[in-house]
Chain A
Amino acid sequence: MLGLEKKDTSLLIVVAILTMCAPFILNPFPTDSAMAQFNAGYPDLMQRFVIFGIFAIGFNILFGLTGYLSFGHAAFLGIGSYSAVWMFKLLGYNILPGIFLSVITSGLFALLIGYISLRRSGIYFSILTLAFAQMSFALAYSVLTPLTNGETGLQVYNSDPQYFHSDAMPNIPHLFGQEMQSTFKLSMGGWSFDFNTGYYICALIMLVMFYLAIRIFRSPFGLMLKAIKTNQTRLNYTGLNSRPYTLAAFVISGMYAGLAGGLMASMDPLAGAERMQWTASGEVVLMTILGGAGTLIGPVLGAGFIKYFENIFSKINDTVLHQWFAFLPDGIEDFLIAIVHPFVGKGWHLTLGLMFMAIVIFLPGGLVEGGQKIARKFRGGKAKDTTATTDSTPAE
């Protein structure tokens, strides 16, 4: 279907079903139960899942396929956000031109930065992209204040022209009148589910982008990128110039990042420089590695995983912990809380760092590899059992 192999088609369908039913899947607990804090089905978080999913899918096209580790991808996210907000300011709140421009501008910037950075490889490439990203951050934060509104962040004011804005249109981001914020609440018994327009638009775009990524992975172009990762020297010796391919991969992944930035601005029309800081670039690297670099579904998983735990872990505070451990004797309860306390709430980054190290050390292939290993173990165990029985039968 759609020019995909059978396996990929079923993967795409599974992802499509999961994203479309996400409001149900992410809200498994009744709203007034104690477990409700583990629900992730509210619009803001679901939007972040898919937006960062797009970002990570794009990053994976560069890092997973070619092995070039860019430490400055957040710059494109920021550029995308700024261009989308500028479109809101100039043309009006319809998100289409904003998203369109954010993809174009981030693509242009990626072309420029990639053209320069890709002349070097390995660690030099990482540091060059890092330098470019920090430079864009510094530019956005202070130097280009007329364009980016500096520390305050770029936002839409009433005095902005908004040429295509009419009074019939809502005064918040919308798609031909459909407000991004509008949410349909469905209550069923103790459960309540949120269906948010913005989420579904982001999810549809993510599905298209995911489909595109599968096509890139399976295309001859994707194979060429994989060859670059495996052995670039040999590729060069065969008389091939690999730079156009890496540059194309860099621009594509930059455009993905720009799209994610544009969508982010469409959900919440505000763009700040801190989105471009190198720790933000580190985050997308983390998502990709955590899920599994070079795999199709990995980055999406990683993005969802990190955003979910960021949200849940940072919400757990001491009161919640006391509720959990209330059944224990007081001394043990306080002791356990003292141990858990540094890892939750504000200390969530500590857990993140530890998790990240553990993944890189023990599971370089990420969650996907972990899942495959477990699956193989189950299958391998069964296979062994059958051989054992067949071996033992003749003896009897």
Chain B
Amino acid sequence: MAAYIFKRALIAVLTLLLIVLILFVLMAFLPGSPFNDERLTVEQIATLRAKYGLDQPLLAQFWSFVKNTFSGDFGVSYAIQKNVPISSLLSGRLPVSMRIGGQAILLGSLLGLVLGVIAALKHNTVWDTFCTVLSVVGVSIPSYVFALGLSYLFGFKLKWFPILYQSALPFHSSVLATVALSLFTMASIARFTRTELLEVLSSDYILFAQSRGIDGFRLIARHALRNALIPVITVLAPLVVGLMTGSLVVERIFSVPGVGQLLVEGIQANDYSVVTALSFVYSLIYIAIMLGVDILYGVIDPRIRLAKGEVQP
């Protein structure tokens, strides 16, 4: 087990280092320099370069880049908010994004679970078809299309919720964004729960439990669902990706002051330092979750760690 965890962790660290390397190479070889003011003399530029360590060999520069990045020092923003450290930009925005993402996961998983269980229990009925159609639609419709529809219908026409996020009303104004983000989670979880539960329900031990007189809620919750939900961690990876990409557009649509919006602004304003910093943050979160999933998987399913960590798709 220790060897398995060590191996997964090593791959995660390698991946993270590769990302930092890519980001560094991009920053180093992008055209232009911070000191392209024509009034500066050659000597002044040389002094400035020495001051900021740009005269060092590339390897030393890379090392300091790695050190700074991992200690949370991402430099300052060029364009969005000039000379504001990116870490302070992030510290205000990360909690908002995390909260909305968390709400979306919670809502989506709950709804998805309920839908999936209904579909499996009422297999091959109208309910099943309804749930299946809903989950196919949920997986196929881009979250921003859904977000736009919600914003138009409930925000603009019915005026139930504010169209734009307001910091004064953190929950009420984030309802639409949460629902929009949760669609994908809901659909994937519903689909998955249905499949797994159908398989479990036809197994021998459920028949045995039934023959002992266990039925209804107790059978589903205590016996069937417990085993059906073990493999649910496999959908975590696509869910995280869905939430990340979703957050970019949903935050733009509802103008939520979160990390996704910052990245979109950074991309549109060509603010390279913001984009690289956020790329790192996103990758860090993603890789950490992937590592967690791999380890959890190894803990739960011994076949995987015995297969030396080769996770089959």
B is a partner of A: no
Residues on B close to A: CB < 8 A? none
